Amino acid sequence: MTVFPGIFALSAAFIAAILLQLMPFHGIWIGWKPNFILVLIITLILNHPEHFGASFASLSGLCTDVILGTIFGHFMFVFTLCGGLVCVLARWASHFALTYRLLSMFAVCLLAGFLQSILVIMQGLPASVDLLIGAAIISVMILPIYENTFNLGREP
């Protein structure tokens, strides 16, 4: 059983993720921008599956909808599906080394980007699907940063 990360570490991690998500990216970099809040939620569910789950992911998605001003349920849908998948993966990922956890997170981030693109296209807006792999790679690089900076890893 892992130790709960603490309310101050969680608050700092969420404030940093929200600020990074709201930070403007220009030009081609906007397509490579990862979803920092989703990466934090995946990190928490992977490392602390007994404290965080799919309901936490759906509630965070609802809050993200409010913060980013998207259509109600857009991020809630994506976060709930990805959070549920990560909950299933967390049982096995607790035995994985960092490389395999990063690989599983890469697959979940690709799925999240694909689902988000589908929802954007259904709204009649243009979406760039060709940059999903780059955004997923950058998302994977953020996982160890979250774990080390905010002490969210599995080891106390």
pLDDT in tens, 25-78: 777 777 788 889 999 999 898 888 888 999 999 999 999 999 998 888 899 999
Distance (Å, whole) CA 37 – CA 110: 15
Distance (Å, whole) CA 67 – CA 92: 33
Distance (Å, whole) CA 124 – CA 137: 27
Token pair of 147, please?
A: 């774990």
Q: Is the dihedral of CA 79, 82, 88, 94 positive or negative?
A: negative
Q: Percent of the chain at pLDDT above 90? A: 37
How many CB atoms lie under 10 A from the CB of residue 119? 18
Q: Is the pLDDT of residue 98 over 70?
A: yes
Residue 17 and residue 143 in contact, taking contact as beta carbons nearer than 8 Å: no
